[in-house]
């Protein structure tokens, strides 16, 4: 079992290490959601001094850079599992720290805003059920490191069909183990994905935060995805939640 975990984890890390453009992006990457995230933070920050923002899996740091430019917040942290990204930050104010979304290397109640974008579906295990458990573990960690009254911001790609999502997970897992890639489907040999449904995303978030904002949009998908049916009903969902903690220790 542990060996399987090690193999799957290594393949996920290798996928991001080899996605060079992922580490060099700058500006709006998700134009339908990035401005909304910036607006949400900007409207709540009158004085940026002392405000702390963490992004988990922030890649090049482009989102944190946008937050700095829009709000003046300087306490910016990017927690990344991918070593290669360490030298590719777009803003030298960003404090880059190596770490795992399932066990964040920060004390509880540390951040005013915690952001995770399009990462949960990469936290894969040996089964789709275990992958969903990992997604919830990550959200629980986000809520842990957020301050009481702080916000967690989750942007995640979804598949409307749990059945098709399950098939996609096991196909990508099998292809990855066999070293097979299907480039026309956007599946490299190290790509393993386990998409949640919109309902599953809501269920997980509602366990840990008071949801204050949700937005959802369908994605335009390549024709080949439509033909396979497996990825014909996909989209992205933004959920922002406020952390209200009964135990402030």
Give the mean pLDDT per block of 10 residues along the chain (249 residues).
52 58 55 93 96 94 94 96 72 92 96 97 92 96 98 96 92 81 64 93 98 91 63 90 77
pTM of the entire structure? 0.86
Residue 228: predicted pLDDT = 65
Q: Is the dihedral of CA 46, 48, 52, 56 positive or negative?
A: positive
Instruction: Report residue 3: phi and psi, to 5°.
Output: -65, -40
Residue 180: predicted pLDDT = 73
Domains and CATH numbers, the chain: 2-239 (3.40.50.150)
Cα dist from 93 to 2, 54, 72, 129, whole Å: 38, 13, 11, 38
pLDDT digits (tens, 9 = 90+) for 171-180: 888 887 787 7
Laid out side by side, the sheet with 95-98 consists of 95-98, 75-80, 52-56, 111-117, 146-159, 234-242, 210-218
Residue 32: predicted pLDDT = 86
């Amino acid at each position: 079992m542990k060996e399987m975990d090690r193999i799957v984890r290594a393949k996920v890390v290798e996928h991001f290490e080899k996605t060079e453009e992922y580490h060099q992006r700058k500006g709006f990457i998700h134009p339908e959601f990035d401005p909304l995230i910036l607006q949400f933070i900007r409207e709540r920050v009158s004085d940026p001094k002392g405000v702390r923002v963490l992004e988990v899996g922030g890649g090049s740091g482009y989102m944190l850079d946008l937050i700095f430019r829009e709000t003046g917040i300087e306490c910016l942290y990017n927690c990344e599992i991918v070593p290669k990204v360490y030298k590719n930050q777009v803003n030298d104010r960003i404090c880059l720290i190596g770490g795992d979304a399932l066990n964040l290397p920060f004390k509880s109640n540390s951040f005013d805003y915690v952001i995770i974008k399009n990462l949960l579906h990469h936290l894969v295990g040996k089964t789709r059920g275990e992958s969903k458990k990992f997604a919830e573990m990550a959200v629980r960690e986000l809520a842990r490191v957020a301050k009481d009254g702080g916000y967690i911001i989750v942007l995640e790609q979804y598949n409307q069909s749990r059945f098709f999502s399950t098939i996609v997970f096991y196909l990508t897992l099998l292809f990855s183990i066999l070293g097979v890639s299907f480039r026309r489907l956007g599946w490299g040999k190290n790509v393993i994905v386990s998409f949640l449904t919109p309902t599953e995303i809501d269920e997980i978030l509602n366990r840990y935060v008071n949801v204050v904002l949700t937005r959802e949009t369908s994605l335009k998908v390549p024709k080949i995805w439509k033909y396979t049916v497996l990825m014909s009903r996909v989209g992205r969902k933004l959920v922002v939640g406020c952390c209200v903690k009964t135990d402030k220790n």
